[in-house]
Amino acid sequence: MTHATVAGAHGHAPPQGFLRKHVFSLDHKVIGKQYLDLALVAVCTGMVLSWLMRFHLAWPETPIPGLAKLSPNGAAGGVITPEYYLSLMTMHGTIMVFFVLTTAPFAGFGNYFLPIQVGAEDMAFPRINMMSFWVTLVAFLVLISAFVVGDGPPLSGWTAYAPLSAVGKDAGPGQGVGQTLWAVSITLFCVAQLLGALNFVTTTLDLRTKGMSLARMPYSTWAWFITSVIGLIAFAVLMPACILLILDRVAGTSFFIPAGLVISDRLQPHAGGSPLLWQHLFWFFGHPEVYIAILPGFGIISHILPVFARKPLLGPRVLIACLIAIAFLSYTVWGHHMFLSGMNPFSATLFSVPTLVITIPATIVTLLWIGTIYGARLRFTTPALFCLGFVSVFVSGGISGFFLAQPSIDTYLHGTYFVVGHFHFVMGVAAMFGIFAATYFWAPKMFGRMMNETLGKWHFWLTFIGVYCVFMPMHYLGLAGNVRRYSAFTDDYLKPLIPLHRFITIAALCTGAAQLIFLFNLIRSRFRGPQAPDNPWEATSLEWSTTSPPPFDNFGGRPPVVERGPNEYGIASGARGMDYAMQAAAAPVSAR
C-alpha cells in the first residue's frame, strides 16, 4: 500500500501535520468520517433525550437522578415539568432530523464514498467541503448550548411553529435565548448543507472518471446526487425563513406574528404577520427533508442488496426513474402536514392527491428490492440483515402513511401517537437501518478492519425486535385517541393506556441498551478488528478496486477506467471464476 507521493491532478498535496491531516483536512474521506463522528455524538444525545421523555411518560412522578443538576428549573427534584418535556422533545427532534438523519447518510457516507464511486480523487471544491463540515459543527454546538444558556432549550418543536417560536420569552421557558439559538443553528446548518450539496452535484456532473457514464453510476451515487439536488432547493427555502424568524425575534418585525396576540397576559407589540406563512415555508422544506433523510437509504439498500443476493438489481433504470419521480413529487406534498392548520379545505384535497401518488414510485422501489432477493441465495451477513430490516420497517411505516394521507382520517389521527409511530418507522428507524447497513458494509473500507459479525447479528435482531415493540403499539395508542406532545396522561380516558406506555418505555430502554453492542463493536473493530481485504464482500463498484482504506488520492495516482455498470452479479463469465465483474476490470492499486 503506497500512500503515494501524488500531487498530480489532485487539487492539493497530501498534508503532513496532524492538524491538516485529521482535523482541518481537505480530504473528503476525513471530512466524511468527521460528519459520521458528529452524527454519532448527536445520535447518542438524541437517544438519551428520548429515554428521559419515555421514562417520564411511563412514571411521571418518579424523579430521575442527576437531572435536577442539568436543569434546576426544568426538572426540579428530578421530575420533568411539562415545559421541560416539550424542550426535550424539541431538542430530540431537531438533533435527530438535522444532525443525524441528514448528517450521517447524506453528508457522512456521501462525502466518503461519492467521489470514490465516480472515480474522482476528491470533491470538486475541497475547501468548500471542509467549510461545510465546520459550519455544521458550529451549528450543532450552537444548538446544544441552549441546554446551558438562558432559560434552557426551546419548546416549540423541531418545526418551530410561529407565533410561539417568534414572540420571545413570553411564550415560555427556553423561548427567549434558547429559541434564538435554535434559529441561528438551523440557519447555519442550511448554509452548510447548501455548500455540501453544491459539491456533491458538481462532483457527480464533472469529475466522473473515464467510462463512468451516468448510466454506470452506482445506485448509492445516484441517490446522493438526487438527494443533493433536493437539498439545494429545500435548504435554500428554509434559510430565508429562519432569517425572517430571527428578525421577528430580535428586530421587532412582524413576518409571522399576527396583530392583537396576547401571550402570558401580555399584548405582543407586533402586527399583521401570518403564522401560516411560516408553516408553508417550513414544510416546503420539511417534506423534502424527509426524502433527504430516506433517499440515501434507498440508494444504500439498492447498492448493498445485490452484493449479498449475488444477483443484479431488478430494474435499475426503473429504480432511478422512481428516485427522480420521488424527488419531483416531494415538492408537491408539503400541505399534507397542514391539514389541520386552518388552510382552505379544498387545498387539503389538492395536497392529498400527490401524497398518494408519491407512494407509487416508493412502492415500485420496494418491489424491485423484493424482486431482487426473490429466488436468490442470500448471504445473511449483518449488512444484508439490516437491508432486509430496512425494507420491513419502511413498508410498516409506509402503510400507515396511506391512512394519514386522507384529510378526513388525518383530522382524527394528526394529533395522536399514530403519527409518532408512522414517522419514526418510515423516516427515523428506516433511515437508521440504512445507516447501520452502510456502516457494517463500508467499515472495512473506511477503517481497513472488519467488524465483528456475531455482535453485528445480535445488534440487528435486538434492534429489529426492539423497534417493533416501541413503535408498533404507538399506532394502537393513536387509534385509541392518545394525544401526542403531552408530558403525562392523567385524563381518565388515557389511564388504561398507561401500562402500554410502560411497555414501550421498557422496550425503548432495552433497544437503546442494544446500541451499546454496536458502539462497542464499532470502536473495538476500528482498532482491533481483523485486517480487511480490498474487496471483502465481492462487490463491483470502484471503492472496492482500491485498498482498504484508500490512499490519499483514492486510487494511487492511477484513475480507474470504468468498463461496465455496477450491476454485474451472478454472471458466469467473471474473471478467475468469479460470479461478478468489477466496474474497473484492472485494479489500479495492487492488492496487498
Partner 1 sequence: MTGAPVTTAASPPAQPPAPPTPAAPPVVEQPRPRPSETGVWIAIAAISMTFAALTSAMVVRGSAAADWRHFRLPPILYLNTAVLLASSAVLEAGRRRVAGHLVWVTLGLGLVFVAGQIVAWRQLAAQGLFLATSPSSAFFYVFTALHGLHLLGGLGGLGYVLRRFDAAGPAPVPALGAAALYWHFMDVLWLCVLVLLVLRV
| Helix residue ranges per DSSP H, 251-358 | 275-309, 316-329, 345-357
Which listed residue (98, 284, 425, 433) binds partner 1 by CB under 8 A? 284
Report angle CA 309, 33, 369 to the nearest 5 degrees: 20
Instruction: Give the Cα separation of 550 and 7 in Å (integer).
Output: 15
Which listed residue (88, 201, 338, 542) binds partner 1 by CB under 8 A? 201
Site string for partner 1, 105-144 (x = CB under 8 A): -------------------xx-------------------
Query: Under the criterion CB under 8 A, does residue 254 sit at the interface with partner 1?
Result: yes
Is beta strand 266-267 parallel, antiparallel or unpaired with respect to 262-263? antiparallel
Question: In terms of CB distance, is 182 or 200 closer to partner 1?
Answer: 200
Which window, 280-288, 294-302, 335-343, 412-420, contacts partner 1 (CB under 8 A)?
280-288
Question: In terms of CB distance, is 36 or 539 closer to partner 1?
Answer: 539
One-letter identity of residue 519: L
Which listed residue (143, 281, 393, 532) binds partner 1 by CB under 8 A? 281
Query: Under the criterion CB under 8 A, does residue 194 sit at the interface with partner 1?
Result: yes
Cell 439536488 maps to which residue?
A: 229
Instruction: Give the Cα separation of 472 and 463 in Å (integer).
Output: 14
Cell 406506555 maps to which residue?
A: 501
Cβ contacts of residue 385 below 8 Å, gap of 6+?
Answer: 456, 457, 460, 461, 464
Give the rounded distance of the alpha carbon of 403 from its chain centre.
24
Interacting positions 551-580 with partner 1 (CB under 8 A): 563-565, 567-568, 571, 573
Cβ contacts of residue 466 below 8 Å, gap of 6+?
Answer: 507, 508, 510, 511, 514
388 C-beta neighbours (distance < 10 Å), count: 20
Query: Under the criterion CB under 8 A, does residue 280 sit at the interface with partner 1?
Result: yes
Interacting positions 298-327 with partner 1 (CB under 8 A): 312
Which listed residue (36, 167, 237, 320) binds partner 1 by CB under 8 A? 237
Question: In terms of CB distance, is 66 or 251 closer to partner 1?
Answer: 251
One-letter identity of residue 542: L
Question: In terms of CB distance, is 37 or 206 closer to partner 1?
Answer: 206
Instruction: Say if residues 160 and 171 touch (Cβ distance below 8 Å).
Output: no
Question: In terms of CB distance, is 20 or 280 closer to partner 1?
Answer: 280
What number of CA atoms fall less than 13 Å from residue 213's CA on the CB side?
A: 5
Query: Under the criterion CB under 8 A, does residue 16 sit at the interface with partner 1?
Result: no
Query: Under the criterion CB under 8 A, does residue 465 sit at the interface with partner 1?
Result: no
Which listed residue (160, 207, 323, 329) binds partner 1 by CB under 8 A? 207
Residues contacting partner 1: total by CB under 8 A: 56
Query: Under the criterion CB under 8 A, does residue 31 sit at the interface with partner 1?
Result: no
Cβ contacts of residue 314 below 8 Å, gap of 6+?
Answer: 368, 371, 372
* Alpha carbon distances (Å) from 271 to 166, 170, 341, 459, 485: 12, 16, 20, 54, 29
Query: Under the criterion CB under 8 A, does residue 585 sit at the interface with partner 1?
Result: yes
One-letter identity of residue 111: N
Which window, 87-95, 238-246, 353-361, 419-427, contacts partner 1 (CB under 8 A)?
238-246
Which window, 104-112, 255-263, 376-384, 478-486, contacts partner 1 (CB under 8 A)?
255-263
Query: Under the criterion CB under 8 A, does residue 20 sit at the interface with partner 1?
Result: no
Min. distance of Cβ 256 from partner 1 in angstroms?
9
Question: In terms of CB distance, is 42 or 329 closer to partner 1?
Answer: 329
Cross-strand bridge partners of residue 157: none
399 C-beta neighbours (distance < 10 Å), count: 14
Instruction: Give the Cα separation of 281 and 283 in Å (integer).
Output: 6
Query: Under the criterion CB under 8 A, does residue 236 sit at the interface with partner 1?
Result: yes
* Binding interface with partner 1 (CB under 8 A): 124-125, 194, 197-199, 201-203, 205-208, 210-216, 232-233, 235-237, 239-241, 243-244, 247, 251-255, 258-259, 271-274, 276-277, 280-281, 284, 312, 563-565, 567-568, 571, 573, 585
